[in-house]
Amino acid sequence: MTAAPTDTLAPHAIDVRYLDEALLVLDKPAGLLSVPGRGADKQDCLAARVQARYPDALVVHRLDMDTSGLMLMARGTAAQRALSKAFAARAVSKRYIAVVAGTLSPPQDEWGTIDLPLICDWSNRPRQVVDFANGKPSLTRWRVLAHDEAGVSTRVELEPVTGRSHQLRVHLAALGHPILGDPLYAPPQACAQAGRLLLHAWHLRIPHPLGGRELAFERPAPF
């Protein structure tokens, strides 16, 4: 597999995929923080860029810095509360595309599940680890989309049922098939196979915070 290029980050650029009086749907590039981090060098982020243009925009959920794809922001506190409740009730559906190391065999049914509890590895933050004694329940649905002809990688679709930090990355690594380009969970050889983390939030389905009508958005993976 050829290495995927890193996303180009134009200063202060945002890619708005949908906009109305209650919400924004954005395409976050890989390499950009979702929200500000600690330190003056970590203040540039998608939320800050959006709020500079739409001051009423509020964070509802996040994507890892190295993950690209669809991210939602609310406009105003009422919309934020409604969308936060939808996330808590698992009324929001998110699906991701990833490319993982090796040949991952398809599950017996079309979709398989990874049910492994996760907890922060406090001595190695921000890493997360599987911990059956103290971890929080974490569930991922997955299916195989295609195999690389050389047997080097597998393209998969992922659906996080829960929303733990780094959940998809840890779960795939625990299967023995880390996501290519992952600097935290992939061994050096798999990390070096891509110029970025090959994980992209491609599909988002939500109930609209005003009235509840269902909206669906798609953004194909750039790799």
Question: What's phi and psi for 49, nearest 5 deg?
Answer: -65, -40
Distance in angstroms (rounded) separating the CA atoms of residues 23 and 16:
11
Distance in angstroms (rounded) separating the CA atoms of residues 47 and 62:
10
- What does the block give as tokens for 46? 């998608």
Instruction: Verify whether residue 44 is a known catalytic residue.
Output: no
CB 142 within 8 A of CB 111: yes
Identified catalytic residue from 15, 27, 41, 64? 64
DSSP 42: G
Which residue in 48, 76, 66, 46 sits closest to 6, CA to CA?
A: 66
Among all residues, which ones are annotated catalytic? 64
